Structure 1
Amino acid sequence: MAGPAALLAAAFVVLLIGLAYGGGAVARPIGDPGPVVRYGLPMAKMLVNIGAAMTLGPILLALFALSAKKDEYHRALDIAAGGAALYAVASGITGFLTFLNVTGTAISFDDQFGSKLGLFFTDVEIGQAWLATTLIAATLTVLCFAVRSQTLMVFVGVLALISLVPMAQQGHAAGSAGHNAAVNALGLHLLFAGVWLGGLLTIVLLRKTLEGDRIIPVMKRYSTIALISFIVVAISGYASAELRVGSLDRLLTPYGVLVIGKVAALIVLGLFGAMQRTWLIGRMTAAAKTVGKYFWWIIVAELAFMGVASGLAAALARTATPVPEELAGSPTAAELLTGEPLPPELTFSRYFTVWDIDLIWLLVCGFGIFFYLAGVVRLHRRGDKWPVLRAVSWVLGLLVLFYLTNGGVAAYQDYLFSVHMLGHMGLTMLVPVLLVPGAPVTLAMRAIANRTDGSRGAREWILLAVHSKYASFLAHPIVAAVLFVGSLWVFYYSPLFRWATVDHIGHEWMIVHFVLTGYLFVQSLIGIDPVPVRLGYPMRLLLLLATMAAHAFFGLSIMSNVGLFLPDWFGAMGRTWGAPPMIDQQNGGGIAWSIGELPTIALAITVAIQWSRSDAKDAKRLDRNADRTDDAELKEYNERLAKLAQSDVVK
């Protein structure tokens, strides 16, 4: 237990030092909740983070590194259950201490105190967040004990991911500039720091279960997860610091100095990770017994530095930031609605010079390009070929996705419906048309090694997902077409559009939905990856023409609409430039009707070309068969005709 002890000891000591230096536990002149709350709240939050890590890490290792046929898998889920219990208890305590901190109410046992507490957890946003986190963590505790199927554990892992959302939304004031960017940065930071820390803790707690050389493949798999986590934690940490520090001269403030300390701890942890990947794992493979004890001592030291980073993170959460988290002065209408100042007038050049970075999609696109090209390189190294055009198409698709989620379209879509519609058409039609020809599933099946120890890696999970009944249903051409067209009407003529516009989580869901529905439809028409049902080319063209007509009708319906979508949003933005909201909405309908059809025309041309090539291949196959059999089929056919003619003559 030296590793967890080192983690907790370092975390608590550094937290106390950080609170003292940053002033996070200084008594308030008015409404001070007392030292128990001032010190207890950051300690409880730190335990929340450790509990979340001990839930996420074991689940991820159970899904991707451990064998369900061995005790290691069940032991990891037991650890996850214990971590979730800590997560739930610490979240409940944090919510209670937050109530005392916010309201300044003294603890009592009368009805008035209970009424205030109940009102805080049901009507106040921060109270609702901690109540939701506590309830989800308690549910995770039960599920980690009850569920042992690897497939069902995926859904438990998704629930664990969802549990971080309420905490991520507390990361920056809801009315302050940069709120969406702060939510993304904090959410990614919590997730990948938790996976990193929780995975290492799990390996330490499993050291007696991972007997013999079993530790080596598990450490190799964890090392890959840790490397990805390090990259994401570093990038998301930088984004958070940029939002809260603002400029280099503010690094000398107490908050800035604590940030520097956390960066230093992160660099040391990166060096530990590099040492594991480049030296220790190789030495353990060569001589496990000799290097093993040193390896465990290094892991204990790494956990201690993780404790330092955890303590600093908790202290930073209680330290005043150099950049105010509330909007200064009298906010404009645009700032009240979006949390951001109104951008300058949209011109053609600003589509490419104004950026609104979405860290989630920046990382998705970056990792998507890297792993795809890594797969191509792996194939070439072993002498296999992969078409260059497939790789080019995939990279272009992800670059377009990056632009649509981070470039000028993303920066102006909250203010102009027409720009929003332009982004929608790009996400659901242009991006899939480029991604599908990349055949990522085929590449993964050829490039990723098959697991033989009972665990599931990326290859096994992809195969399981592709061959599942749910995926088969969604990938059916008719279902994909209905989702592609029907979701347009459902989205814009239901509360979903408001949710996706007003709420950042809804916006992220919208992007995923548009890309997935477009990908499924395009895959059913021109996909290279295998699908359960593939229509003949005449039916594909017919299906495409039907969806083109429905898509055009959707655009015309928006153009002829006499009411404004979200009038309290697009009509209340306070814009003094650009087309009036109603005209802009009609322009958006025109984009859906006209520009949105261009990728569909490209699809029709592609289907026609594939049809022509298929006929040519069939003709060549028949010619080769005729040469090989000396036209046996033709001679048999002629003989049959001759017999029929002779029987007619006899009659």
Structure 2
Amino acid sequence: MISLAASIATSGPLVGAMTTISKFIGVTSSFFLVGTLLAAGFLLTDNHGKLEPAALQLRIVALWSSAVWAISSLINIIFTLANILGSSIGSALDPTTIRSFITQITLGQYLFFQFLVGLFAFAVSMRLKKVGGVILLLILVVLGIIAPIFQSHSASSGSHALAIGSLAIHVIALSLWVGGVFGLGILDSKDRAIATPRFSQLALWAAIAVVGSGTANAWARLNFLSAWHSTYALVVVAKTLLTVSLIFIGYLHRKNLSSKNPLSIDWQKFARLIMVELIIMIGALALGAWLSSNKPPSPAGDPKFSAAITVAGLPMPGTPTLSRLLLLYNPDALFLGFLVLAVALYSKGVLILKRRGDKWPVGRSAAFVVAIIAIDYATSGGFGVYAHFSFSYHMIAHMILGMIAPIGLVLSAPITLALRTLPQSRDHQERGVRGTLVAALHSKLAGFWVNPVVALLIFDGSLFALYFTSLFGGMMQSHTGHLVMDVHFVLSGFLFFHVIIGVDPNPKRAPYIARIVTLFAAMSIHAFFSIAVMSSTTLLDGGYFAQLKAPWISDLLADQHLGGAIGWAMGEIPILLALIATFIQWVRDDSKEAKRIDKNTERLAAMGQPDELAEYNTYLAQLAERDRNGKSI
């Protein structure tokens, strides 16, 4: 009889099965880790930002979950490598082969990053004492979970941005939903009663995201009729049915919680329902692990090679025309998902204020709408599509994301809206979400970021670091790099304009003269950058655009020079408008201060008391009188 080790060494199907099993264990343990961190940092109460004893006890669960995740991630690297090579496990265990895989191959790099995140979580889990640290680790863990997605089978789909983005959102939402149920399952009845209402709200949002992203991903992968006759499609349908059943159980949870007083709920029955939910979730995770280990069906026939799809991830668009720029749309699901979430949260905040009888300026809502449309258009619309194929259109998208959209976001005052609508803490000791936001705004780190010099260096200094190094060409080559680049444009622009013309709270707001000097410096630096691009004699993209061979671009260097000119024109106008707005704000603030002083003077005069200015003038008059009389002061 052949031993298991020998079978693994020689059997391709068995290696594939072991790959699926290692992925399932890794996904389950990582979701368990997410749930533990979610319970400790968000679902349970805290003590002025510090973890309560119940949350501290969860650290041991996080420790073991991260250990299992790290080990399974390491094993998954070996089995994945063996699958790719079509060789035995012994060949995949060769140190040189492994080193090449995790340092030179993108998938190997992402898998190794996932392993490092699990290892880091294992190292710091028992050291967690504050809510902030738990939340930061939770974010890092989620990034580690979704990292391999960017080089998964979805990455080879023709609907590149839709497939990858929808799958990333699907996994993020699923990790919060499934992980949250895991987290509730390990709490005692008292803590579960505290955590369940808050998780119920989160689970509703997560369930909507799971269904929406799952539908989009299925459409991207199975967008032809014959695909629905495959085993892959049957597994997708089975997973969908399990997800629907989970949503129904979630509905029962919400109905049970909303219709009864928490003290009258049968928590033992509630716990049994959670166990059923966990079993179904484990089944759904197993199917998900199988899907991630198998390639979706491909259309019949030999597909023609397309440099555009291979390099940029989408088909080559036709010659740019006004109609194509306005109507062409290739959804970047990850960006689109976060934009939808932002719109939902902003709308909910405005609705809360309206129900409370408070008003929210229409102009701020309009600015928010403009910003969202601009971001979506620059990432998924016509300019977003052509930005993948032309430097000049890339620069247009860059200016929209870095200059136009951030101004709208800043003027929409999202932080102010959050502070006015976020729920208060559940007891007098809890800092809560709103308290955490307030603490973050007043932290030393926030004070560092809102320094005008720092904001300027990030806003304009990053232009040179990106475009005049190999970084630009490297980031354009991958979906992850392109995503990071676009996010950086939005965030750096938001930070800069928040410092200059922001209406949100800023504990260390710079004087107006400092803001004006910063704006003039930004204009000068931006002009210098644009001139440098316009006068460049070599391509800055590292050969990226040359690979695509866009038929409507005859001279790549001329297109690059055009991009520099566009960047200059589109960059100077928003900065000039911000300069005008800063002067207006300065005049208005001076006017308000003058009115305040006048009102104070009138109030003191009505009371028969001299105001500060009158007292100071009297003091000066006395000094002058003494000088005339020859007396010493």
TM-score normalised by length of structure 2 = 0.89
Match for residue 452 of structure 2 among 446, 453, 477: 477
Q: 1:189 deviation in Å?
A: 2.2
Say whether the 8 Å CA contact 1:64–1:456 is kept in structure 2. Answer: no
Residue 259 to residue 587, structure 1, CA distance change in 2 (3 Å) = same
SS at match of 2:550: coil
Say whether the 8 Å CA contact 1:178–1:243 is kept in structure 2. Answer: yes
Counterpart position of 1:535:
510
Say whether the 8 Å CA contact 1:477–1:534 is kept in structure 2. Answer: no
Residue 575 to residue 257, structure 1, CA distance change in 2 (3 Å) = same
Residue 318 to residue 480, structure 1, CA distance change in 2 (3 Å) = closer
Deviations 1:445-464 (A, max 9, x none): 22112214455533133223
Residue 298 to residue 563, structure 1, CA distance change in 2 (3 Å) = same
Q: Does 1:172 align with 2:150?
A: no
Q: 1:201 deviation in Å?
A: 1.2
Q: Does 1:519 align with 2:497?
A: no
- State the aligned residue count: 614
Q: Does 1:194 align with 2:175?
A: yes
Say whether the 8 Å CA contact 1:52–1:83 is kept in structure 2. Answer: yes
Quick one: distance in 1 between partners of 2:339 and 2:157?
A: 27
2:177 corresponds to which letter in structure 1? Answer: W
Quick one: distance in 2 between partners of 1:264 and 1:507?
A: 35
Counterpart position of 1:377:
351
Say whether the 8 Å CA contact 1:56–1:194 is kept in structure 2. Answer: yes
Say whether the 8 Å CA contact 2:78–2:93 is kept in structure 1. Answer: no
Match for residue 25 of structure 2 among 36, 47, 63: 47
Q: Does 1:549 align with 2:531?
A: no
Deviations 1:151-201 (A, max 9, x none): 223332233123224421342265553344333233222222122112111
Quick one: distance in 2 between partners of 1:111 and 1:182?
A: 29
Q: 1:53 deviation in Å?
A: 0.5
SS at match of 1:572: helix
Counterpart position of 1:307:
282
Q: Does 1:67 align with 2:45?
A: yes
Say whether the 8 Å CA contact 1:54–1:202 is kept in structure 2. Answer: yes
| Bigger Cα displacement from structure 2, 190-199 vs 128-137 | 128-137
SS at match of 1:346: coil
SS at match of 1:97: helix
Q: 1:104 deviation in Å?
A: 4.1
Q: Does 1:81 align with 2:63?
A: yes
Q: Does 1:594 align with 2:572?
A: no
Deviations 1:536-592 (A, max 9, x none): 333322321221122122212211212221251123321221462112111111111
Q: Does 1:154 align with 2:154?
A: no
Quick one: distance in 1 between partners of 2:535 and 2:121?
A: 49
Counterpart position of 2:73:
91
Counterpart position of 2:6:
none
Counterpart position of 2:474:
499
Quick one: distance in 1 between partners of 2:139 and 2:219?
A: 29
1:215-614 mapped onto 2 (5 Å cutoff): 215-247=192-224, 250-280=227-257, 282-283=259-260, 285-288=262-265, 291-319=266-294, 321-323=296-298, 328-453=302-427, 454-578=429-553, 580-614=555-589
Deviations 1:476-521 (A, max 9, x none): 1222122222111222112321232112222222122211221121
Counterpart position of 1:185:
166
Q: 1:411 deviation in Å?
A: 0.6
Residue 140 to residue 618, structure 1, CA distance change in 2 (3 Å) = closer
Q: 1:355 deviation in Å?
A: 1.3
Quick one: distance in 2 between partners of 1:61 and 1:621?
A: 49
Q: 1:142 deviation in Å?
A: 2.4
Q: 1:412 deviation in Å?
A: 0.9
Quick one: distance in 2 between partners of 1:643 and 1:153?
A: 64
TM-score normalised by length of structure 1 = 0.87
Say whether the 8 Å CA contact 1:189–1:237 is kept in structure 2. Answer: yes
What stretches of structure 1 of length at least 5 have no aligned partner? 1-30
Quick one: distance in 1 between partners of 2:55 and 2:93?
A: 48
Q: 1:280 deviation in Å?
A: 3.5
| Bigger Cα displacement from structure 2, 42-51 vs 176-185 | 176-185
Say whether the 8 Å CA contact 1:346–1:578 is kept in structure 2. Answer: no
2:202 corresponds to which letter in structure 1? Answer: I
Say whether the 8 Å CA contact 1:284–1:292 is kept in structure 2. Answer: no
1:276 corresponds to which letter in structure 2? Answer: H
Say whether the 8 Å CA contact 1:474–1:480 is kept in structure 2. Answer: yes
Q: 1:315 deviation in Å?
A: 3.1
Say whether the 8 Å CA contact 1:65–1:456 is kept in structure 2. Answer: no
Residue 354 to residue 492, structure 1, CA distance change in 2 (3 Å) = same
Counterpart position of 1:163:
144
Q: 1:115 deviation in Å?
A: 6.2
Higher relative contact order (CA 8 A, sep 6+): 1
Match for residue 15 of structure 2 among 20, 24, 37: 37
Quick one: distance in 2 between partners of 1:219 and 1:484?
A: 42
Residue 519 to residue 121, structure 1, CA distance change in 2 (3 Å) = closer
Residue 523 to residue 105, structure 1, CA distance change in 2 (3 Å) = closer
Quick one: distance in 1 between partners of 2:415 and 2:448?
A: 18
Aligned residues with identical type, % of pairs: 32
Say whether the 8 Å CA contact 1:413–1:419 is kept in structure 2. Answer: yes
| Bigger Cα displacement from structure 2, 596-605 vs 279-288 | 279-288
Q: 1:55 deviation in Å?
A: 1.3
